Amino acid sequence: MHVISIAALTDNYIFLLHDSKQNIAAVVDPAEAEPVLQQLEQLKAELVAIFNTHHHHDHVGANQQLIQKFPQVVVYGGVEDRGRIPGQQVFLQQGDRVQFSDRTAEVFFVPGHTRAHIAYYFPPVTALEAGELFCGDTLFAGGCGRLFEGTPAQMVDSLSKLRALPDNTRVWCAHEYTLSNLRFALTVDPDNIDLQKRYDQVKAMRDRHEGTIPSLLEIEKRTNPFLRWDKPSLQLTAKRNEPTQVFARIREMKDKF
């Protein structure tokens, strides 16, 4: 399975999963139809699945057009999003499995950004490969999603599930927010040497107009303040010790940044 990143809208990413042997494809969170259709035409591939993480328009905006082009496509989403994802046929919950090509993904229920958000994790096939995490707007490179429909406690629980995945998991998040996220992270974790180095690297990448996604979960664990609520440096900044309270305070600070 090959993952192709497609830039869309202002700062979105759409991810196309391609099986070159069967020449089939699946798409994660299609915000726009045209760039997806162009990529499929270039690959001469048939779209067989749409994997939606949540109902926001910049993640499902192309569903109907893609269904019209590929009537046999199967649309997946969370069970709690019933009625909110265009064309949804499969209603997923925590622990379910979904198949694409010869790969099987585990479904995580990760509410917080929305009440119904899910993520898809494809474990590595061999020890030399990375796992693939498609997490929508729950976990970002250097940050996390705003809490539009969920609570801090829900988001900490959701991020805990993702944080527990192997370090060599590639994080395919849906927005190019990395530089601004790290700029904020430095204000709450200023003595983090790994974070300082990462900011410089990402700044150079963005100056060259390069994308920063995917990230690596190992790097997120060391530099993303929203995965570090149990670290003394973040507890000091938040002036709190309890995980949910630390997270909530850091998230509040980010919302006002």
The pLDDT, as a whole number, for residue 128 is 79
The pLDDT, as a whole number, for residue 238 is 96
Which positions of the chain have pLDDT values less than 70?
A: none
The predicted model scores a pTM of 0.96
CA distance 216 to 227: 13
CA distance 14 to 35: 9
Q: Where are the beta strands (DSSP E) in the chain?
A: 2-8, 12-19, 24-28, 46-51, 74-78, 90-92, 97-100, 103-109, 118-122, 131-136, 139-140, 143-144, 169-173, 215-216
> With contact defined as beta carbons under 8 Å apart, do 128 and 114 qualify?
no
The pLDDT, as a whole number, for residue 227 is 97
Q: Mind listing the pLDDT tens digit for each residue in 64-97?
A: 999 999 999 999 999 999 999 999 999 999 999 9
The pLDDT, as a whole number, for residue 127 is 76
Report the top-level CATH class of 2-255. alpha beta
The residues spanned by each domain of the chain are: 2-255
